[in-house]
Chain A
Amino acid sequence: MKIRLDNVVKTFDTFRAVRGVSLEVASGELVALLGPSGSGKTTILRMIAGLEYADGGAIYFDAEDATAISVRDRGVGFVFQHYALFPHMTVAENIAFGMKVSKVKRSKTAIATRVSELLQLVQLEGLADRFPTQISGGQRQRVALARALAVDPKVLLLDEPFGALDAAVRRDLRLWLREIQEQLGITTLFVTHDQEEALDLADRVVILNDGVIVQEGSPQDVTRRPNSAFVTRFLGDTNRLFGRVAGGRAEIDGQAIAAPGLADGAAEIYVRPGDLDWSRSGEGMAATVTRVIDRPDSRRVLARLANGDAVELDVSPETDVARGDAGFLHIRRASVFAAPR
């Protein structure tokens, strides 16, 4: 099932949550809607589900205009942020609910068979008779997914699917969800504010800010070629330095960075901590180390430039560096944007 949003608008009271979003999701694609809170990503998801009606624009499922179809008849599987499992029903009853209330009548044995199939799919055989309060957060998440999949939805929508879980469980579930999605080939959209999650999981990432799409593309596209300062900053740690562009090149402390197509004038140069090299001597920006943070796979060096700006860089764990050391920073890669006026 292909989904197409055509200039969709949603306003709550006076707050314009979504302002003219157009988006296409190909059949079987796994797409992440990524953005800070208040960027309208959940509202878009809820409009696709039919839990919220669009004030303007249209939503198409394949060729069919789904804008006015009620959530009940839209045939979407929705997984809620806090799972919304029915607390008075067992795991099996939760999963069976959609089939029981469906307009398509199924026999009791057919429902029971499907429930045990789904329990197997989400690897929860044996928990059928537990209540939601008696299982862990990760297990609840999987029950919620099984419940949504039980009615054979054409589209799977997940709202912050891993938001309430701890880091280790989150990573496992991510890989697992990717596997299930590939196995079923179901068109899937999920909302997240966690860039790592979006990049890990999605075929395509749609980045939103203030109710509009600011960039969309494969994880590789958006990480390697961010189209704005916002995207650059949102996708991960970055240092902002100030320089000048002249003739398509940005200059900062004697280092030149290609800035094709940029008009001459003040510029912001964004450099990721991993894209800065540290050396005791040589060329580059002079800096003094203020602190070193040790991490399992690297050392994060906090340093101060001659002009007082703080920068952060990652060096290999073997690098010998300590607080108070003076040295030079070399920019290996950077993104340059015109400074906002």
Chain B
Amino acid sequence: MSASPSGKPSRVGDTPLVRRTLITLVLLVGAVLVLAPLIVIFAQAFSLGVGAFAATIAEPDTRHAIMLTVIVALIAVPVNTAFGLAAAWAVTKFDFPGKRLLIVIIEIPFSISPVVAGVAYLFVYGLQGVFGPALADANIQILFALPGIVLASMFVTAPFVARELIPLMQAQGRDLEEAATSLGASGWRTFWSVTLPNIRWALLYGVVLCNARVMGEFGAVSVVSGNIRGQTNTLPLHIELLYHDYQTAGAFAAASILTVLALVTIVAKVLLERQGAGRRSRVSVAAPVLLAEGQRP
């Protein structure tokens, strides 16, 4: 074995040059592509002062857009979480014909452009669409209203939770559930006390991704919402509108709100993860103490 001048043999691809170049490159790209634009958003949002920022946020249309975005997320995320859980469960715990097809169907929204999804909904629920006339007769408005926005958002984010769960649940297999059932647990009990605790971090991650995407979805929602200011404009659509109206500071202020919403979800995820990870390490540290207590009669 040949040793480098420093005395330690270097592992494959681990020479100082390679290491330093890689780290610099990644840091640089991360800063330029991700961090810098975020900083710009907040700088621009407050460029006309805190007062202007507050005024933009207080503006009724902006407030409405924020509310609408949150409402859509509150509906779409739980529904897609339930769907993702059900789909992952079905795919990993049961054998049935069409299983592979189901996996492909779940993946479709990942590969289809959201605009296409929006247009498709237009053809299904629009006045000239398949269900359009029937819906109009029943006085149910799907398009250019909340239901359409929720549906389009759900289409786009359908794979997020399932995609996080399927590989994990596949790796875990059916042993744990079988063990719980053989010990006498009901299906419901098994799910709550055995399955869910073992997939919770993947589930949480899926929910966070799903939420971020629902709040940020532009293309599909833009087609089905009709961009009615103060009525069907979600935050991303409102940002674009403000920008085209040359209200740059307003656009950046709204964008900063959307960014904050996303950051809140990520921070929430990190906090929850810490708490979860804490349980195990706490127990292992505290084990000797508990043990001593347990030995007392």
**Chain A contact residues, CB within 8 Å of chain B:** 49-51, 71-74, 76-78, 80, 82, 84-88, 90, 97-98, 101-103, 126, 128-131, 134, 147-148, 150-151
Bound: A72/B184 CA distance, A: 4
B22 to chain A, nearest CB (A): 33
B161 to chain A, nearest CB (A): 20
Asked if A78 contacts B284 (CB within 8 A), the reply is no
Asked if A78 contacts B197 (CB within 8 A), the reply is no
Bound: A98/B194 CA distance, A: 12
Q: Which residues of A contact B189 (CB under 8 A)?
A: 101
Q: Which residues of A contact B283 (CB under 8 A)?
A: 90, 129, 131
**Cross-chain pairs A/B with CB under 8 angstroms, 21 sampled:** A71-B181, A72-B182, A72-B186, A80-B178, A84-B176, A84-B178, A86-B176, A86-B180, A88-B197, A88-B198, A97-B180, A98-B183, A98-B185, A101-B189, A102-B184, A126-B291, A128-B294, A129-B286, A131-B280, A148-B182, A150-B183
Q: Which residues of B contact A101 (CB under 8 A)?
A: 180, 183-186, 189, 193
Q: Which residues of A contact B55 (CB under 8 A)?
A: none
Q: Which residues of A contact B180 (CB under 8 A)?
A: 86, 97, 101
- Residue pairs across A and B with CB atoms within 8 Å: the count is 79
Bound: A124/B179 CA distance, A: 21
Bound: A151/B179 CA distance, A: 13
Instruction: Give the bracket for the number of chain B residues in contact with chain A.
Output: 20 to 34
Within 8 A of A (CB), among B261-295: 280, 283-284, 286-287, 290-291, 294-295
> Is B175 an interface residue when CB atoms closer than 8 A count as contact?
yes
Residue of B nearest to A87 (CB): B198
Asked if A84 contacts B197 (CB within 8 A), the reply is no
Interface centre among B176, B178, B183, B291 (most CB of A within 10 A): B183
Asked if A72 contacts B194 (CB within 8 A), the reply is no
Q: Which residues of A contact B181 (CB under 8 A)?
A: 51, 71-72
Bound: A85/B180 CA distance, A: 9
Asked if B197 contacts A129 (CB within 8 A), the reply is no
Q: Which residues of A contact B186 (CB under 8 A)?
A: 72, 101
Residue of B nearest to A144 (CB): B179
Within 8 A of A (CB), among B150-185: 175-176, 178-185
Bound: A78/B183 CA distance, A: 8
Q: Which residues of B contact A102 (CB under 8 A)?
A: 184
Q: Which residues of B contact A88 (CB under 8 A)?
A: 197-198
A93 to chain B, nearest CB (A): 10
The one of A84, A129, A134, A150 that contacts B179, using a Cβ cutoff of 8 Å = A84
Asked if A129 contacts B182 (CB within 8 A), the reply is no
Interface centre among B178, B182, B284, B287 (most CB of A within 10 A): B182
A294 to chain B, nearest CB (A): 33
Bound: A51/B181 CA distance, A: 9
Q: Which residues of B contact A71 (CB under 8 A)?
A: 178, 181-182
Q: Which residues of B contact A72 (CB under 8 A)?
A: 181-182, 184-186
Asked if A76 contacts B184 (CB within 8 A), the reply is no
Asked if A129 contacts B194 (CB within 8 A), the reply is no
Bound: A75/B181 CA distance, A: 11
Asked if B175 contacts A80 (CB within 8 A), the reply is yes
* A-B contacts besides A71-B178, A128-B294, 11 pairs, CB < 8 Å: A51-B181, A80-B179, A86-B176, A97-B180, A97-B183, A97-B193, A101-B189, A129-B286, A129-B287, A130-B284, A151-B183
Residue of B nearest to A159 (CB): B175
B257 to chain A, nearest CB (A): 37
B174 to chain A, nearest CB (A): 9
Bound: A169/B294 CA distance, A: 28
Bound: A87/B175 CA distance, A: 12
A135 to chain B, nearest CB (A): 11
Q: Which residues of B contact A147 (CB under 8 A)?
A: 179, 183
Bound: A134/B183 CA distance, A: 23
Q: Which residues of B contact A87 (CB under 8 A)?
A: 198
Asked if A49 contacts B182 (CB within 8 A), the reply is yes
Bound: A101/B186 CA distance, A: 8
Residue of B nearest to A80 (CB): B175
Bound: A51/B173 CA distance, A: 14
Asked if A76 contacts B280 (CB within 8 A), the reply is no
Asked if B280 contacts A51 (CB within 8 A), the reply is no
Bound: A101/B193 CA distance, A: 10
Q: Which residues of B contact A86 (CB under 8 A)?
A: 176, 179-180, 194, 197-198
Asked if B183 contacts A84 (CB within 8 A), the reply is no
Q: Which residues of A contact B175 (CB under 8 A)?
A: 80, 82, 84
Bound: A84/B126 CA distance, A: 52
Bound: A98/B186 CA distance, A: 11
B97 to chain A, nearest CB (A): 11
Q: Which residues of A contact B294 (CB under 8 A)?
A: 128-129
The one of A82, A103, A126, A134 that contacts B184, using a Cβ cutoff of 8 Å = A103
Bound: A121/B37 CA distance, A: 63
Taking A82-B175, A131-B280 as contacts, is the C-beta distance between A98 and B184 under 8 angstroms? Answer: yes
